[in-house]
Structure 1
Amino acid sequence: MKLKTLFTTPKRAIITSVCMLAILAAAGTATAFAAESIAKSNSIGTAAAEEKALLDAGVSSADANFGYTDFDFEKGSFVYEVEFTANGIEWEYVIKASDGTVLSRRAKVQQGYADAITPGLDTGDTSAPVSEESDAAADVSTPETSTPETSTPETSTPETSTPVQEETDIGLEAAKNAALADAGVNAADATFTEQKRDRENGVLVYDIDFYTSTTEYEYEIDASTGAVREKKSELRGGQTQPDNTDIGLEAAKNAALADAGVNAADATFTEQKRDREDGVLVYDIDFYTATMKYEYEIDASTGAVRERKSEKRNNQTQTGANDIGLEAAKNAALADAGVNAADATFTEQKRDREDGVLVYDIEFYTSTTEYEYEIDASTGAVREKKAESKTQTGDNGAYIGLERAKEIALSHAGLSAGEVYLSKAKFEDDDGVKVYEIEFYKDRMEYEYTIHAATGRILEFDAEYDD
């Protein structure tokens, strides 16, 4: 009778229904939290899930750099989502929380690691095939509460998913070979920029991108059959020649002088450096005579003039007699530092204007020290200088030194010093941590490394294809 009194008037009936819905919603939320808490307490744990992923990937914990490991509820199961990188490969795993079963995995080769192997995916190992988006029977079902039509709530029946059928996978190497065969390209002539397994409209595929000396290719290969689903090719524009075809700085200076019709004895050089412009290796050559200023961009492979600019010198420009020139400025800096030219590697040498005064900015380093100088272009006097030691004692002993840092970066990239163009090698303080910043190019691939100055450990690295 008391229950009926709650519905004796329309107003009471509405208030009673609203209250009951609120109670049911709260109960459902509490049930969900309780289910997750129970599942988590009965799960294998974060550390075990990471270990399962590493074991499946064939990666040691020492080589792995974990991004995150999250506990989640996905497609009827409580799971761990595990992401990490190792040896140039990005891994993404979904691990069943109750028993550690690998429900899905994805491996993507990072740029700059075209030869990296993805264990279990490209070796033909089918002892425990896993689809990228496989389901499994539910561990714990979270009950869903339906909206009651009357005062009595209805509870839906928990659903369980059917295990996904195993998919055939030809493997990464077979997919690469299929793309090469279709393009008519030998493996020795190809440089791979992307090779990853993916899913396109529900179909498992391999995305294979590579280039030769003349052409760029993009392929989508069916992971089950090896058939070409999509392909694209285009001629490369402004491709980079290998560094062993570099004419050298002196030849580049001579090419600029010849084009300008200027004798070397009449020229004062203000900038001479090797650079990369739109993926092409070039020399920037700037100089002046008593009457003219010249700026040149010379192709480092052929010696051809890519760009030129010349203008008459105005009265505000100092005459050649009042400018000591770049070489004299470099010598003034070396003399002040007490460093032999043979022991110095120059990272910057340019003419500039500081507070209306013509100066030369000269930066170089030795095996132990980095130097920065500002030299008066008229007198050769040292206006500013800075020296920073790279062999001082750190928390874990002496720093490894710039040369060793370069060796570590090159070894990790699988390259030698003769194969690359070094664009940056610097000792820096990164939020209180002493590091070496190393940057270099190989063909059209740019590499960037941050290396711990005391331990030599690689803290960050990136390899990016410069298109």
Structure 2
Amino acid sequence: MIKTKNVFYEEGFKMSFFKKIIGVLATVMILVMGTMQVFAVTLTAEQAKEIALHYVPEGSTHFNTKQDYNKFEIKLYNQKDQTFYEIDINKTTQKMTSFESESQNNFGSIKIVLTEQNAKDIVLKEIPQAQFVTAYLDHDGGLQKYKISFYTSNITGVYKINPENGMILEREIKFVENTIQIPQNTIQNIIQIPEVPNTSMNSGIISMEQAKQIALSKAPNAVIWEIKTDIDDGRLIYEGEMKEGYIEYEFEIDATTGMILEWDIDIDD
């Protein structure tokens, strides 16, 4: 078998967060239909953020919360592992219902070293109960990634894995509703973060309000109609639209450096 270079498997590293959480879930999961506690107080955005912070590496930075009908969508970034996280928290149960991660170094490879089984083994290292649905090489812009979809009794998931070095580029995990999850306070010390060299990134990210001010510095009299976060080629950005009379502006701002990446002007006739 080919030995991968994935830092999660290096000797001396602790059990990964996902292997631990799924292992505990498998032993403590119970159905709560008919016994689920009804919360008298509606979950606030601040409370949801604090819950989400327990599920990501220590030192992660919160940069956006989006409120939906029955959930809060929390976005965070960790400088140490250079990874973006997105966690959904159910307003009623106050539990995590989905977990996504995306490495800033989210690149595939033109070189294929790992087999399909090697890629599956990487998933099994984190989620031993995984039952595989599909596994194949996905082609994107000349680069390739293994895309592995799977399920267990209480989750469904998709991993994307670099076929050359075994790095997990993306995780998307959906938890089955109506289950009791692992207590949050056990998680912070479980996930093991590999050391990633800091190249061009600063120590943090700018807030959405700071991004607005950067955009308005280019057109002080404009009104911002929309601004949101996005991930472009593994890089967190703010993108938005502004208007000033008949002039429309579209912009993209690097959320790490504050640099304006794109600035388009259109005259509305």
TM over 0.5: no
Higher helix content, 1 or 2 = 1
- Provide the TM-score with structure 1 as the length reference: 0.22
- Provide the TM-score with structure 2 as the length reference: 0.35
Q: Which entry has the higher C-alpha Rg, 1 or 2?
A: 1
